[in-house]
Each structure stands twice: as structure tokens, then as C-alpha cells.
């Protein structure tokens, strides 16, 4: 099938490349000429394991192409995916849909045969209805169908999540497009992915409800971790103990810093805002947002306590600054609160991240990027493990430091407290 992805951000690029790998002809469109020229040279704008290889392979096979010409690309395609950003509006919690509606408007001018227009951007319930209205201004109802097909890709695991999804959700108000999409996804369905067809509005809400539920699960275990710290219990035992109940499930029950990234913080706020619009009070999601916002302050206080409130001139080694491992994404990372807090209190911070130095810390006083884990740890008073890259999982601390009083604050509970203590270092984790 001939597919067109509008927007070569995270969702558009990963989905487009994976669809081409399944044998479809895909053109990825973006307004950014630079980005398109780079993609044609195999230069990938985001860090995502395995993506570069797939781009190169499929571009070479001519199943994948990149273009800035939206009209031409839409005209030549049977299925158009809208994969543009839906950031939070300024001074509001609701999603800014300008790019989605603008894509709808552009598409409406190019309906030359029956086309399925799929919204893959994360959008509030009823956005599909609005897109349909926009396209109806220029095109006949017979020649298009607007469908919602949300994505469930995690950064850092996106290719695996695309190929082996738990489920594929297609929300459409007509059976013809449901059938075409089932066919498009058949290579994944035959490998075991469940295909769920719903009304369009239901698919839109499935996406927001999924992210809000996962954010709730994480926030729940983070609060339980707070209680564990006060009662001498290891939260890892609680995660295992409750997660083995199939009704609860063990995934997304890892306590850690506040959740971050480009999705959970934005989508929980947008869901609440949509519900408010429909005069429905999502009090659980509201308290999740509040609890998560307070979490970074809580962890800052804990660092202060660990350092006995003597932060000035302490050398802090920060391992991993992105919002989680296997990504270079800094959006809503808890390090954006923790590092400025420590810098303001007079600490000297040496941070290392496998994805390199970050512009966000350039202007901060006494914050420096280290070129290796070893450089970052050397001479430090405390090591804060902020993300769980494999690189951080078996560090020989004794080899890297002569400081016998080194404190390790393991925010991802990677290490066994007993083993660290046996080596003579002080250990603190989350909820243990």
C-alpha cells in the first residue's frame, strides 16, 4: 500500500520506517527541509536504537522516501497518517491542535481518490470529528474516511513496540477503513498482536486513558515507596508482591524519580482538561499530576538529608540526565529540577550521560559534563544514579574512586544495597 506520514517526529518517523520494512511504499513528509535532506543522507534527528539501520535499509530498497512536498505525497498515497506534535498550549493544560488541523486542511486540498486519513497524533476526544469537518469543506464524504489509530511506542523501545505490539487500536465509524487497516497491520496480527476495532472517539480516549493509567501506576508505587522509606521495607518486594497478581501486573511498577518525557506529563494534563470541558471531574488523574509534580521536590529534600544539609562544595556525580534510559530526550526529566537545585545550593556537579552533554545545563553554575562514567565518579562525594542505562548497572565503584566515604544514591534501585555496603560505601535507594 502507498502510505504518507505527515510529520517526521518520533511517531511519524518510527511508524513510517517500520511500515516500509513491512513492504509498503512510504513517503515521510516534513516542512523542515534540513531534516528531510539529512534523512536522505541517513542522518537521523532522534536517538532511537535500531532506527538508523532500518532507515538506511529501506531508503536503499526505495520503499522509503522523504519529501517536503505534502500535496504531491498525499495525492500519490492511499493512506495518510497525521503524525504531528500536540504540545501543551501556553498558559493552559489543553493540547494545542494547530498542527493537526493545519495538516487536515492541507490534506483536504489533495483528495483525488478514496483516501483513509489516520490520526496518529495524541489528541483529545472529538478531534477526529473536527478533522472530518475540515476536510468536508473541500472534499466529498465518499472520498475519504477519518480514522484514529493511536500509537503505543515507548522511546528507546519504539521499534520493538511497533513490531510486537500488545494491541493495535483502530477507531473508525465505517467498516471499509477498518478492513483496510486490518489488512495493513496483518503482518503484525499474524505474529500475535490483538486487533481492536472501535468507534473513532473510543480510540482517541483509549490512548489518553492508557497513558494516564500507566502514570497512575507509577505514581502509586512512588507513594508506596515513600512509605517504605519510613517503615524499613524494600519497595522492590512490594512491586513483586503485588505485581504477581495478574489483575495488577508487574510492568510499570518500578519506583523511581518523578515520571517524565514528552507524553505522560502532557497527556495527563490534556485528559483532565478534556474532561473538564465535558464537565467530568477526573480527580484521580488530577492527584497523580499533583503528586508527580511534588516528587522532584521530595527527592531534592532527600538528597539534602543524605548530605546532612551540607550541600555547598560537595562534588556530585550525576549518572544519566534524560527522563529515562535509552533516549536523548530531556523533556520533563526530573534532572531538570534536581541539578539546578543542587547547583543553587553550591554543589559542584559532574554529570555523565551516554547521549552526551545537554544544552539545558550550559548556563548553570558549577555544572560540567564528564566524558565517561569514571571521570564523573572520580573525586565525588556522592553518585546519583538517575537513569538505568545498562552502562550504569555494573560499575566497579572501588576502581573509580579512592573516596572510602562515597555515597551512592541509586534512584532506579539497580544495585543490591548489601553488595554496595560490603564494599564499604553508603547506599541509598528509592523506597528501601
By CB under 6 A, name the one of 101, 152, 195, 213 that touches ligand UGA. Answer: 152
What is the smallest separation between the CB atom of 111 and ligand UGA, expressed in angstroms? 28
Asked whether position 264 contacts ligand UGA by CB under 6 A, the answer is yes
Which residue's CB is nearer to ligand UGA, number 222 or number 343? 222
What is d(CA 82, CA 352) in angstroms, rounded to the nearest whole number? 36
Residues near ligand UGA (CB under 6 A), total: 20
Binding segment for ligand UGA (CB under 6 A), chosen from 129-137, 152-160, 310-318, 354-362, is 152-160
SS3 407: strand
By CB under 6 A, name the one of 21, 30, 151, 204 that touches ligand UGA. Answer: 151
Asked whether position 155 contacts ligand UGA by CB under 6 A, the answer is yes
Which residue's CB is nearer to ligand UGA, number 131 or number 288? 288
Contacts 24+ apart (CB under 8 A), 172-181: 172/145, 172/147, 172/148, 172/197, 172/199, 172/200, 172/203, 173/145, 173/199, 173/200, 174/145, 176/145, 177/116, 177/145, 177/147, 180/78, 180/79, 180/116, 181/116, 181/118, 181/147, 181/149
Asked whether position 270 contacts ligand UGA by CB under 6 A, the answer is no
What is d(CA 212, CA 214) in angstroms, rounded to the nearest whole number? 6
Which residue's CB is nearer to ligand UGA, number 59 or number 264? 264
Binding segment for ligand UGA (CB under 6 A), chosen from 90-98, 148-156, 413-421, 424-432, is 148-156
Which residue's CB is nearer to ligand UGA, number 65 or number 333? 333
Asked whether position 323 contacts ligand UGA by CB under 6 A, the answer is yes
Beta-ladder partners of 82: 6, 119
By CB under 6 A, name the one of 211, 292, 300, 343 that touches ligand UGA. Answer: 211
- At 53, give phi and psi (nearest 5°): -60, -45
Binding segment for ligand UGA (CB under 6 A), chosen from 42-50, 55-63, 81-89, 146-154, is 146-154
By CB under 6 A, name the one of 104, 128, 261, 431 that touches ligand UGA. Answer: 261
By CB under 6 A, name the one of 12, 104, 260, 429 that touches ligand UGA. Answer: 260
> For residue 198, with 0-12 CB atoms within 10 Å meaning exposed, 13-18 middle and 19 or more buried, which class applies?
middle
**228 catalytic residue (yes or no):** no
- Rounded to 5°, the CA angle 271-275-281 comes to 110
Asked whether position 236 contacts ligand UGA by CB under 6 A, the answer is no
Q: Return the residue matching grid coordinates 539501520.
A: 53
| 353 touches 321 (CB < 8 A) | yes
- Rounded to 5°, the CA angle 310-316-317 comes to 160
What is d(CA 384, CA 274) in angstroms, rounded to the nearest whole number? 38
Which residue's CB is nearer to ligand UGA, number 82 or number 218? 218
Beta-ladder partners of 351: 318, 369
By CB under 6 A, name the one of 35, 254, 350, 386 that touches ligand UGA. Answer: 254
What is the smallest separation between the CB atom of 175 and ligand UGA, expressed in angstroms? 27
What is the smallest separation between the CB atom of 69 and ligand UGA, expressed in angstroms? 27
SS3 122: coil
Q: Return the residue matching grid coordinates 554529570.
A: 351
What are the Cα distances from residue 279, in Å, to 201, 273, 422?
17, 10, 56
Q: List the grid coordinates of 287.
A: 492527584
Binding segment for ligand UGA (CB under 6 A), chosen from 153-161, 292-300, 303-311, 378-386, is 153-161
Binding segment for ligand UGA (CB under 6 A), chosen from 41-49, 258-266, 336-344, 358-366, is 258-266
DSSP H or E stretch at residue 117? strand 115-119
What is d(CA 423, CA 417) in angstroms, rounded to the nearest whole number? 10
- Rounded to 5°, the CA angle 9-11-13 comes to 60
By CB under 6 A, name the one of 218, 303, 319, 347 that touches ligand UGA. Answer: 218
SS3 427: strand
By CB under 6 A, name the one of 256, 340, 429, 431 that touches ligand UGA. Answer: 256
Which residue's CB is nearer to ligand UGA, number 218 or number 382? 218
By CB under 6 A, name the one of 108, 122, 216, 380 that touches ligand UGA. Answer: 122
What is the smallest separation between the CB atom of 296 and ligand UGA, expressed in angstroms? 11
| Polymer length of the chain | 432
Q: Return the residue matching grid coordinates 526530573.
A: 334
Asked whether position 353 contacts ligand UGA by CB under 6 A, the answer is no
Asked whether position 269 contacts ligand UGA by CB under 6 A, the answer is no
Binding segment for ligand UGA (CB under 6 A), chosen from 43-51, 104-112, 145-153, 275-283, is 145-153
Tell me the catalytic residues.
263
Residues making contact with ligand UGA (CB under 6 A): 122, 151-155, 211, 214, 218, 252-254, 256, 259-261, 263-264, 323-324
Amino acid at each position: 500500500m502507498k502510505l504518507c506520514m505527515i510529520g517526521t517526529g518520533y511517531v511519524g518517523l518510527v511508524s513510517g520506517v517500520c511500515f516500509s520494512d513491512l513492504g509498503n511504499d512510504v513517503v515521510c513528509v516534513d516542512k523542515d527541509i534540513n531534516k528531510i535532506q539529512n534523512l536522505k543522507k541517513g542522518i537521523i534527528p532522534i536517538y532511537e536504537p535500531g532506527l538508523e539501520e532500518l532507515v538506511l535499509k529501506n531508503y536503499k530498497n526505495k520503499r522509503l522516501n522523504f519529501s517536503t512536498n505534502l500535496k504531491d505525497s498525499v495525492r500519490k498515497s492511499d493512506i495518510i497518517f497525521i503524525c504531528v506534535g500536540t504540545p501543551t498550549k501556553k498558559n493552559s493544560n489543553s493540547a494545542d491542535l494547530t498542527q493537526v488541523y493545519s495538516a487536515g486542511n492541507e490534506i483536504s486540498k489533495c483528495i483525488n481518490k478514496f483516501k483513509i486519513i489516520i490520526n496518529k497524533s495524541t489528541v483529545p476526544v472529538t478531534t477526529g470529528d473536527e478533522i472530518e469537518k475540515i476536510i468536508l469543506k473541500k472534499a466529498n464524504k465518499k472520498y475519504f474516511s477519518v480514522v484514529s489509530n493511536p500509537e503505543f511506542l515507548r522511546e528507546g523501545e519504539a521499534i520493538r513496540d511497533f513490531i510486537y505490539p500488545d494491541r493495535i487500536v483502530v477507531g473508525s465509524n465505517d467498516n471499509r477503513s477498518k478492513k483496510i487497516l486490518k489488512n495493513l497491520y496483518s503482518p503484525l496480527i499474524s505474529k500475535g498482536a490483538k486487533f481492536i476495532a472501535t468507534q473513532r472517539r473510543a480510540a482517541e480516549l483509549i490512548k489518553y486513558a492508557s497513558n494516564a493509567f500507566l502514570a497512575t501506576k507509577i505514581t502509586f508505587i512512588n507513594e508506596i515507596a515513600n512509605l517504605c522509606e519510613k517503615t524499613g521495607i524494600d519497595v522492590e518486594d512490594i512491586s513483586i508482591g503485588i505485581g504477581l497478581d495478574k489483575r495488577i501486573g508487574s510492568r510499570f511498577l518500578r519506583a523511581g524519580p518523578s515520571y517524565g518525557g514528552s507524553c505522560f506529563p502532557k497527556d495527563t494534563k490534556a485528559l483532565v482538561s478534556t474532561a473538564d470541558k465535558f464537565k467530568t471531574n477526573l480527580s484521580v488523574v488530577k492527584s497523580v499530576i499533583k503528586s508527580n509534580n511534588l516528587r522532584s521536590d521530595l527527592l531534592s529534600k532527600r538528597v539534602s538529608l543524605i548530605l546532612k544539609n551540607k550541600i555547598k562544595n560537595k562534588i556530585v556525580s550525576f549518572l544519566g540526565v534524560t527522563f529515562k534510559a535509552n533516549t536523548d530526550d530531556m523533556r520533563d526529566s526530573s534532572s531538570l529540577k534536581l541539578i539546578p537545585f543542587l547547583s543553587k545550593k553550591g554543589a559542584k556537579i559532574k554529570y555523565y550521560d551516554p547521549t552526551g552533554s545537554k544544552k539545558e545545563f550550559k548556563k548553570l553554575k558549577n555544572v560540567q559534563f564528564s566524558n565517561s562514567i569514571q571521570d564523573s565518579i572520580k573525586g565525588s562525594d556522592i553518585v546519583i544514579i538517575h537513569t538505568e542505562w545498562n552502562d550504569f548497572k555494573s560499575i566497579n565503584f572501588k576502581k573509580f574512586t579512592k573516596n572510602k566515604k562515597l555515597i551512592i544514591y541509586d534512584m532506579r534501585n539497580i544495585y543490591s544495597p548489601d553488595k554496595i555496603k560490603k564494599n564499604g560505601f553508603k547506599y541509598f535507594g528509592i523506597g528501601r
